[in-house]
A and B are shown apart, each in its own frame.
Chain A
Amino acid sequence: MAVPTWSSSLKVLLRADTTAQVRTSLSLVLTFALPLILLVATGLGKNSAVLGGPAFRISLALTVGLVSIGTVGYSLAIARDRDTGVFQRLRVTPAPTWTIMVSRWIVQLGAVLVMAIVVLVVAALFVGVTLPPQDYLFTILVALLGSAVFLSIGQAIVGLIASADTLNAAGRLLYVPLIGLSLFGNTDRLGTTVELVSRWSPGGCLETLLSAAMGATAWTGQSWGALFASFGYTAVFAVIGIRWFQWGAR
């Protein structure tokens, strides 16, 4: 009997996971509808400027998209497939186990890449925000880093929480503070402590990096701090998520 190589297994898994991703209505809403609605909605009304400038609106839309994909869409899909035994069925094939999860991550990163491009295109066409070419590249790279942060948070959630139902509730509970902290990183309206926590939260760090990548703020020591903090968050949550992850329902 022939044994497939890891690369051919990964290719086959990627094709199936991409098809599944495209056909999931929740993932499409989280990936595209929510960020675009936010992008447009934050520009409406007389006091919209209070929320921040155009760059802030784009970074907020991207952050919300990334938080949604990582903590709600990804973690819920993984928990559901675990509960129903999809992973166990895949694990009895010769495909190396790591390819099963890596395929999911690659598909999510691909979704984030498409989402970032769509948000930036809509921002250019309808919000009137255009960036120099290199800033587009930096923004997309930062979005991919942000995706790694929130996917690792999603992985940690799915590693620590056994059932899809509990995870659904926990994901929604976590979603609100993660978004809220992203919102208040640029303002001290709720006090300096909240601002400090907000600024160094995963969403706050992402906001800082996106803002710098789009040229709205200068690249400063805080930007470097946000960059290292993002790598740190990714590493810590990924280790938690992988260490405690179980392939089968408990």
Chain B
Amino acid sequence: MRVHGVTSEAPPVTGLALQVNDLHVSYGPKRAVDGVSLDINQGEIFGLLGPNGAGKTSTLSAIEGLLKPTSGSILIHQVDVRAHPGQAKSLIGVQLQSTSFQSELKISEIVKLYAGLYGVPLTKPAISNSLTEIHLGDEASRRFSQLSGGQQKRLALLIATVHDPPLVLLDEPTSGLDPQARRQLWDRIERFRKEGRSILLTTHSMEEAQAVCDRVAIMDHGKILTVGTPAALIAAHRDDPQVRQAAHGEVTLEDVFIALTGRELRD
């Protein structure tokens, strides 16, 4: 059945928000993701942590449909990403690590474009209200490149959630933001959780992950090293000699992270 350019064949949103099973992604001979499996519950904020090059963005890209996995399966609310990419994409909202929009379009036109691509008809007042809600009401006629970094992130998040997706994927959403903008972003993410959405995010900020995420997975060299609540991971690794060595006082998630992934710098 088709209504106003929209098919109503998508299934109801129930059960696990995301199931990734034995995911492999390769770039030529290099294995970027090597057997990753993870589940995300409905209404959960899940942090994917790892040093640069650990495979976080590749994992997200495979879930988003930007990369074709070598093997493995990805189900978003029981919809197979590879078999039904359109349906799967309609269930997720995505904020990429570096986002850009057509430089010739005004902010209001960008919102209208992306709402349209998700089949959400937005009137001018509705667009204006959405922009006002994220404190961009006065910027509707400006171009994306004319916005500050914080404003760009807020707009990117608005566009990621313009269709009320049950699962939101955020790749380093707070990078480059000042503390005020970061706090505001976390408030919005917290609000998403209260609305029942699930959130999968990557971040380099262990403090934020510890404070905000219900569960985190630490990955390196394409593999998941450990998964659990921040408190459980700290408790489980508290007495490891490497963790004790990394800790300055009370053991934190960052100490566990450093102990598991090593101290050497990554490119």
Contact = CB atoms under 8 A, between A and B. Distances in A.
Is B one of A's binding partners? Answer: yes
B117 A12 contact: yes
A175 B64 CA distance: 38
Interface residues of A, number: 34
A93 B102 contact: no
B186 interface: no
Interface of A: 1-5, 7-9, 11-13, 15-17, 19-21, 23-24, 81, 84-86, 88-96, 247-248
B118 A4 contact: yes
Contacts, number: 109
Contacts of B5: 4-5, 7-8, 11
A216 to B, nearest CB: 38
Q: Is the interface of A mostly helix, strand, loop or mixed?
A: helix
Contact of A8 (B113, B114, B119): B119
A107 B69 CA distance: 33
A89 B101 contact: yes
B84 to A, nearest CB: 9
Nearest to A95: B117
A4 B166 CA distance: 17
A207 to B, nearest CB: 33
A96 to B, nearest CB: 7
B86 A96 contact: yes
Counting from the closest, the 10 A-B pairs by CB-CB distance are A8-B5, A12-B116, A4-B119, A20-B104, A84-B100, A93-B117, A92-B94, A23-B104, A2-B6, A94-B89
Given A16-B102, A16-B105, A90-B117, A5 B7 contact: yes
A1 B7 contact: no
Contacts of A20: 102, 104-105
Interface stretch (B8-16, B209-217, B251-259): B8-16
Contacts of A9: 116-117
Given A4-B119, A5-B6, A91 B105 contact: no
Contacts of B13: 1
Interface in B1-34: 2-10, 13
B87 interface: yes
B55 interface: no
* Chain A CB within 10 A, most for which of B96, B99, B118, B166: B118
